[in-house]
Amino acid sequence: MSGVAFAKLKLYLSTGKSKSEGVEPGMKYPPEPFKIKVVEHISRTTREEREAEMMKAGYNVFNIPAEKIYIDLLTDSGTSAMSDNQWAGMMLGDESYAGSRNYYHFERTIRDIFGFKHVIPTHQGRVAENLLFSTILHKGLVVPNNSHFDTTRANVEYNGGVAIDLVNEAAKDPNKILPFKGNIDLTKLAALIEKVGAEKIPLGMLTITNNSGGGQPVSMANIRGTSELLHRHGIPFFLDACRFAENAWFIKTRETGYADKSILEIANEMFSYADGCTMSAKKDGLVNMGGFIALNDDALAQKLTNRLILIEGFPTYGGLAGRDLEAIARGLVEVLDENYLAYRISQVARLGDRLEEAGVPFLKPTGGHAVYLDAKSFLPHIPQNQFPGIALIVELYLHAGIRAVEIGSLMFAQKDAETGVVRYPDLELVRLAIPRRVYTNSQMEYVGENIIEIFEARENLKGFELTYEAPVLRHFTARMKPVMV
Ligand code: PLI
């Protein structure tokens, strides 16, 4: 990274704004660029009620009814608040089986932003992945990515492929502050191509931003470099575009040469290097359901469309209602608004800044959609086989009614089938994913203050042991109990 870019990042990290934008007085943390028209009631339960819910749930927050949660940071996916403009668009839903006018609006909008020729709607992101990988993969093929999200990995592996993560080494250090910790390691990518042969790689991917690696962005230089390397070997290049606008904002504020470009121009350039993308519109589409694949290859698009008809529906609705397509088309335009993105990214950074002041350990810098607490450093007295991330998540709920998700040993520790030895992940993270346009900054202050209170009394927290685990994806249904000492 150039010295100029790093200086800009340091300024950004300390002020929440890039130098090029200037920091207007009172705008270190831009306030919400909207006012509230409709409200949804949430209520705080008592500690006794929460203890009872937690026991009933087997200490797994996935089992707690959402009505018993005060601030729900389980995911930023499908949890956005839609705008009045999107709701108005839903009233214009054309529910024709074929040729809905909302499909044409959806297609036109996606072509304008993403630039691809074919646009195939799906009801969410993992179906886009399923269609793509069930069409192009067979046993023995390899798919490199910076880091596969879990559904992406599962779809690659289910279809016989090998999913390989090649994120740069620095990304694995939670304390290292770098502007683009989502970048793929191009040397490792070149070595992989050399080792397995280009014919074994049906496509290469980059996930923007890199959700499994802390919501960290990928630079334009890295996107371009990946494209050049893959294309030199005749390998197609796809982006996992769920959080493309957040990634574009980081490019604008952190990468030299992009400060004066619009988010649309940056998005156009990012996608110009790729042959296609998969997208869960439940993130930067600002909707509660939806997704798509967009691509240039005519023959592949034909195959995907044929499969789409089998599993999702006719190509002009693909598992969605006309009104959903309209809401996505409008959401994709709203998400490009710089006032929205400045507020969005700074809301996440602001929580990080508050935790930093109190010495609470988390993955740095804060990502686009979430703060990832470093549970290993937060609770050094709880060993990995007693799930420090779960201990923290349980206390977040008991103390304050906050729900978060563990990205650590419960999710990833693996027992070797032959030796029985358990391999633990490098990091024990607790993700606080912030839904878009949902919680006010004062609610986020509440989250910060309560985490700090828990941190101050952290020695009292105890580890957990499993009482039930499913053979795959155990974190969703696991049941646990506190370790008795
Ligand atoms: O939940 P879907 O099927 O619409 O999207 C799957 C998906 C694909 N890629 C990436 C990077 C994701 O983050 C993703 C879904 N993420 C979820 C559900 C999350 O909680 O982060």
What is the distance of C-alpha 90 from the center of its chain? Answer: 26
pLDDT over 70 (residue 285)? yes
What are 61's two structure tokens? 């927050």
**Residue with CA at minimum distance from ligand 1 atom 1:** 125
Which of 271, 298, 311, 332 shows the shortest CA–CA distance to 118? 298
pLDDT over 50 (residue 17)? no
pLDDT over 70 (residue 11)? no
Using most ligand atoms within 8 A of CB, pick from 132, 167, 280 the residue to mutate for ligand 1: 280
Residue 375 CB partners (closer than 8 Å, separation 6+) = 388, 389, 391, 392, 406, 408, 428, 429, 430
Helical H segments across 273-321, by residue range: 298-311
What CA–CA distance (Å, rounded) separates 432 from 356?
15
Quickly state the pLDDT bin for 23 (edges 50, 70, 90).
Answer: low
**Residue with CA at minimum distance from ligand 1 atom 20:** 75
Compute the chain's Rg from CA coordinates: 22
Helical H segments across 31-83, by residue range: 47-56
Flag whether the pTM goes above 0.85. Answer: yes
Element (H, E) at 120: strand 118-122
Instruction: Output the CA 292–ligand 1 centroid distance in Å.
Output: 13
Average pLDDT over residues 176-204: 98
Average pLDDT over residues 199-228: 97
Instruction: Output the CA 374–ligand 1 centroid distance in Å.
Output: 21
The pLDDT score that the predictor gives to residue 102 is: 98
The pLDDT score that the predictor gives to residue 2 is: 43
Average pLDDT over residues 253-261: 97
Q: Do 14-73+338-482 and 84-334 have matching folds? A: no
**Residue with CA at minimum distance from ligand 1 atom 7:** 125
Instruction: Report CA-CA distances (Å) from 413 to 311, 410, 421, 422, 484.
Output: 33, 6, 10, 7, 22
Quickly state the pLDDT bin for 34 (edges 50, 70, 90).
Answer: very high
Instruction: Output the CA 1–ligand 1 centroid distance in Å.
Output: 29
Ligand 1 atom closest to 207 (CA)? 11
Instruction: Output the CA 3–ligand 1 centroid distance in Å.
Output: 34
466, β-bridge pairs = 480
Quickly state the pLDDT bin for 439 (edges 50, 70, 90).
Answer: very high
Using most ligand atoms within 8 A of CB, pick from 80, 239, 242 the residue to mutate for ligand 1: 242
Tell me whether residue 234 is exposed, middle or buried, using C-beta atoms within 10 angstroms of its C-beta: 0 to 12, 13 to 18, 19 or more. exposed
- For residue 303, the SS3 value is helix
Tell me the three-class secondary structure of 206-239, residue by residue.
EECCEHHHCCECCCHHHHHHHHHHHHHCCCCEEE
pLDDT in tens, 414-434: 888 889 899 998 889 999 999
The pLDDT score that the predictor gives to residue 424 is: 93
Fold of the CATH domain 84-334: Aspartate Aminotransferase; domain 2 (3.40.640)
Quickly state the pLDDT bin for 26 (edges 50, 70, 90).
Answer: confident
Q: Percentage of residues in the chain with pLDDT exceeding 70?
A: 95
pLDDT over 90 (residue 179)? yes
Instruction: Output the CA 104–ligand 1 centroid distance in Å.
Output: 25
Antiparallel, parallel or unpaired: β 118-122 and 291-295: antiparallel
The pLDDT score that the predictor gives to residue 61 is: 98
Instruction: Report CA-CA distances (Å) from 315 to 122, 239, 324, 344.
Output: 9, 21, 14, 33
The pLDDT score that the predictor gives to residue 28 is: 84
pLDDT over 80 (residue 180)? yes
The pLDDT score that the predictor gives to residue 9 is: 42
Quickly state the pLDDT bin for 12 (edges 50, 70, 90).
Answer: very low
Instruction: Output the CA 462–ligand 1 centroid distance in Å.
Output: 31
Residue 418 CB partners (closer than 8 Å, separation 6+) = none
Average pLDDT over residues 165-173: 93
The pLDDT score that the predictor gives to residue 7 is: 44
**Residue with CA at minimum distance from ligand 1 atom 2:** 125
What CA–CA distance (Å, rounded) separates 321 from 312?
12
Average pLDDT over residues 257-272: 98
Instruction: Output the CA 215–ligand 1 centroid distance in Å.
Output: 12
Using most ligand atoms within 8 A of CB, pick from 126, 288, 405 the residue to mutate for ligand 1: 126
What CA–CA distance (Å, rounded) separates 288 from 294?
20
Instruction: Output the CA 125–ligand 1 centroid distance in Å.
Output: 6
Phi, psi of 161 (to 5 degrees): -85, 170
pLDDT over 70 (residue 211)? yes
What CA–CA distance (Å, rounded) separates 447 from 58?
24
Residue 109 CB partners (closer than 8 Å, separation 6+) = 328, 329, 332, 333
pLDDT in tens, 374-422: 999 999 999 999 999 999 999 999 999 999 999 999 988 888 888 989 9
The pLDDT score that the predictor gives to residue 20 is: 41
As a whole number, the mean pLDDT across the chain is 94
Instruction: Report CA-CA distances (Å) from 267 to 76, 140, 159, 302, 340.
Output: 21, 33, 30, 26, 16
**Cβ–Cβ under 8 Å, residues 127 and 147:** no
Average pLDDT over residues 348-373: 97
Ligand 1 atom closest to 126 (CA)? 3
DSSP type of residue 33: S
Using most ligand atoms within 8 A of CB, pick from 283, 411, 434, 473 the residue to mutate for ligand 1: 283
Superfamily of domain 14-73+338-482: Aspartate Aminotransferase, domain 1 (3.90.1150.10)
**Cβ–Cβ under 8 Å, residues 278 and 293:** yes
Q: Is 319 left (phi over 0), alpha (psi -120 to 50) or beta?
A: left
Instruction: Report CA-CA distances (Å) from 372 to 141, 172, 243.
Output: 32, 13, 17
**Domain boundaries defined on the chain:** 14-73+338-482, 84-334
The pLDDT score that the predictor gives to residue 18 is: 44
* Binding-site residues, ligand 1, Cβ < 6 A: 75, 77, 124-126, 149, 151-152, 207, 211, 240, 242, 280, 282, 291
Element (H, E) at 122: strand 118-122
Instruction: Output the CA 75–ligand 1 centroid distance in Å.
Output: 9
Instruction: Output the CA 373–ligand 1 centroid distance in Å.
Output: 20
Ligand 1 atom closest to 74 (CA)? 20
The pLDDT score that the predictor gives to residue 145 is: 98
pLDDT in tens, 63-105: 999 999 999 999 999 999 999 999 999 999 999 999 999 999 9
Instruction: Output the CA 335–ligand 1 centroid distance in Å.
Output: 17
**Residue with CA at minimum distance from ligand 1 atom 8:** 125
The pLDDT score that the predictor gives to residue 459 is: 97
